[in-house]
Amino acid sequence: MVEKRTTGIIDLDRVTQGGLPAGQTTLVLGEAAAGKTVLALQVLARAIEQGGAGVFVSFEESPAQIRQDAASFNWGESLIEADSLVVIDARPRLSAETAGEFDLEGLLSIVTATSRQKGAAWIVFDGIDQLLRHQVGHNAAINQIRRVDEACAENGWTLLLTGKTQHDGTEPFHLEGIEFLLSATVMLSARIVDQQLNRSLRIAKFRGSAHVTDELPMLIDDDGIALPYHYGNENDNIEASNERLSLGVDRLDALLGGGIYRGSSLLISGRPGTAKSTLAARFAETAVARGQKTLYISFDELEGPYVRNLRSVGINLRDPIEAGQVRFQTLSAYAARVTEHFLVIRRLLDDFEPDCLVIDPISALLKASATEGAEMATERLIDMVRRRGITTLLTSLTGVRDPEGEATQGQISTLADSWIVLDYNVRGGERNRSLSIVKSRGSGHSNQQRELLLSSEGIDLADVYEDGGEVLMGTARVERAQQDEARARRAQLEWKQRRNDLERRIAQAEKERERLAQTLELEAEEYNEVTRLDEQWRNRIRHRRDPATRDPEHRDGFDDN
């Protein structure tokens, strides 16, 4: 297994899976302005930051120029002032003439003594082709490089050997074939695309080690070399959260089954003026209320006017921005390449460490120039924030004729976990905003188109009113709502009237019942009296007819005859 030494450039260490081969020579090739010297100086700067040492042997520029070049970077001052860095001027004299083979033994002796004195593990031979072009033949130049590589192995150096190429070739000037001798080769390129300089890096060769073989976009800024799409500190074992986060609109949360999952991504696409940015701002304000930090990146709006305009719909971002809970960053799509925008966003995430991210709109990246395209940037961005567990809201501007076109073109709709489409519903001379949920992974959700309402009280969704299968919005919805309310009032009045009528009839029936009850009671009394008198009469008749019961002294005056 190849032993590696980390370069300290996190992106480069990731694509090489641990660094460059320790105790061996790595060939760094590229055109002018491709970044060969910057790469070498940055490796030395990172090594010295970790307590190491380095030797820089220059065959082209003076030590003063090397230090001046380094001073333009954030790490340059500490590199220049470090006692553990030795810069050796190995430039041939201007008056030097070639007379036989040039021997590097003397230079190697100086480098060996210096590296031992300083304890330097990193050695740089910058622009070796400028020296070897003085060799009398190609074989002599190759032999000199072979001797350098042997010295590297003998002393345990990790050596960077830089050289120039032409027209994107893999063969350095005056060193054709040397790439087959050395263990690793790094190719740098600098091409003009759309009138902009595009740099890239490719690991052309790395014996005994797996590595990224793609040609990777490369940037050089104040921090030096960066490979934006290969960052080394991402989490590969992110756990899926079941926690739902509110978007700040209760009815919308209900349609999504309670909101979106923490750590997921939401795309809101729509035409201009459909309230994409307003929904995004409401999401950021709601995140602050939960105690979460939000990074808000806008490609369309300046902070001042945007925050002021949000007041009209009841959204306050000024206080969270001033409190440091929301960081608002304005970027210009045309001002930089896609790769540069990606790097800026990545560094903002590193610095601010937000819980939530808003990019408004992500489709602005389609306007920026790049050899790799906005699709790669979008895919890498969503992958990066997903691995960091950041809940992300992306907006995307769509066209009038194709409301889903740009979202599909940028592959955003495919990558996002949830997708909301905003549009206009034009009817009866009115233009009303509509909202529909296209997808929401892992959630049951409504497929009903809803009217989106904006007012000074905030954002809301209207009740659904249908007419022959068509959803009514705006004035048509209000008229239908008024009709429904009038119909409900009429039904209520009719029911009250029917209830009153029934109650009246019940009261009348109760009076009639009482009258009939009294009549029944009177008739019962009359019947009882008649029955008593009748029984009395019959008893008297029986007494008269029974001789044994007669009392002669008490005759009733009746004659039996």
Give the per-residue pLDDT at 167: 58
Residue 386 domain flag = yes
Question: What one-character DSSP code corresponds to residue 218?
Answer: E
Q: For residues 34 and 173, state if they share a domain.
A: yes
Q: In CATH, what number is assigned to the domain containing residue 258?
A: 3.40.50.300
pLDDT top residue among 237 and 541: 541
Provide the percentage of residues in the chain whose pLDDT is more than 70: 83
Reduce the DSSP state of residue 526 to 3 states and report it.
helix
What is the Cα–Cα distance from 133 to 141, expressed in whole angstroms? 8
Residue 558 has pLDDT above 50, yes or no: no
The answer to whether residue 235 sits within a structural domain is no
Mean pLDDT of 235-248: 83
Asked, for residue 543, whether it belongs to a domain, the answer is no
Residue 365 has pLDDT above 60, yes or no: yes
Tally of structural domains, the chain: 3
pLDDT band at 263 (very low <50, low <70, confident <90, very high): very high
Shared-domain flag, residues 282 and 146: no
Q: pLDDT tens-digit profile of 455-494?
A: 888 898 887 765 555 666 666 667 777 777 888 888 999 8
pLDDT band at 129 (very low <50, low <70, confident <90, very high): confident
pLDDT tens digits for range 65-84: 999 999 999 999 999 989 99
Res 291: pLDDT: 94
Residue 393 lies in a domain: yes
- 483 and 455 fall within a common domain: no
First-last CA distance in the chain: 156
Does the pLDDT value for residue 560 go beyond 50?
no
Picking from 55-69, 358-372, 391-405, 492-506, which range would have the lowest pLDDT averaged per residue? 391-405
Q: Are residues 355 and 378 in the same domain?
A: yes
Q: Say if residue 100's pLDDT is above 90.
A: no
| Cβ partners under 8 Å of residue 180, min gap 6 | none
Q: Are residues 169 and 45 in the same domain?
A: yes
Same domain for 113 and 59, yes or no, is yes
214 & 160 share domain: yes
Last residue of a domain, one of 437, 462, 487: 462
Quote the pLDDT of residue 196. Answer: 77
Tokens representing 333?
């799509």
Regarding whether 167 and 248 lie in a shared domain, the answer is no
Q: Is 283:358 a contact under the CB 8 Å cutoff? A: yes
Which position has the higher pLDDT, 422 or 375? Answer: 422
> Is 249 a member of any domain?
yes
Residue ending a domain, choose from 420, 435, 462:
462
Cα distances from 167 to residues 32, 127, 189, 425, in angstroms, run 11, 17, 9, 55
Asked whether residue 65 falls in the same domain as residue 93, the answer is: yes
Q: What pLDDT sits at residue 290?
A: 93
**What pLDDT is stored for residue 170 in this prediction?**
53
Distance (Å, whole) CA 54 – CA 119: 8
Q: Is the pLDDT of residue 138 over 70?
A: no
Domain that includes residue 14, residue range = 4-226
- Per-residue pLDDT, 118: 92
Same-domain pairing of 269 and 181: no
Res. 405: pLDDT tops 50: no
Question: Which helix (H) or strand (E) covers residue 509, if one does?
Answer: helix 474-545
Token code pair at residue 111 = 């480098």
User: In this structure, is residue 8 part of a structural domain?
Assistant: yes
Instruction: Give the contacts of 33 (CB within 8 A, at least 6 positions apart).
Output: 190, 197
Final residue before a domain boundary, out of 157, 191, 226: 226
Q: What is the arithmetic mean of pLDDT over 430-446? A: 84
Q: What is the pLDDT of residues 193-217, one digit of tens each?
A: 777 788 899 998 999 888 888 888 8
pLDDT for residue 136 is more than 60: no
Give the position of tokens 């091409």.
191
Greater confidence, 378 or 295? 295
Indicate whether 468 belongs to any domain: no
Q: Does 559 or 473 have the greater pLDDT score?
A: 473
Query: Long-range pairs for 345-352 at CB < 8 Å and ≥24 separation?
Result: 345/297, 345/381, 346/228, 346/231, 346/384, 348/295, 348/297, 349/295, 349/384, 349/385, 349/388, 349/390, 352/293, 352/295, 352/327
Question: Across all residues in the chain, what is the average pLDDT?
Answer: 84
pLDDT digits (tens, 9 = 90+) for 280-330: 999 999 999 999 999 999 997 899 999 999 999 999 999 999 999 999 999
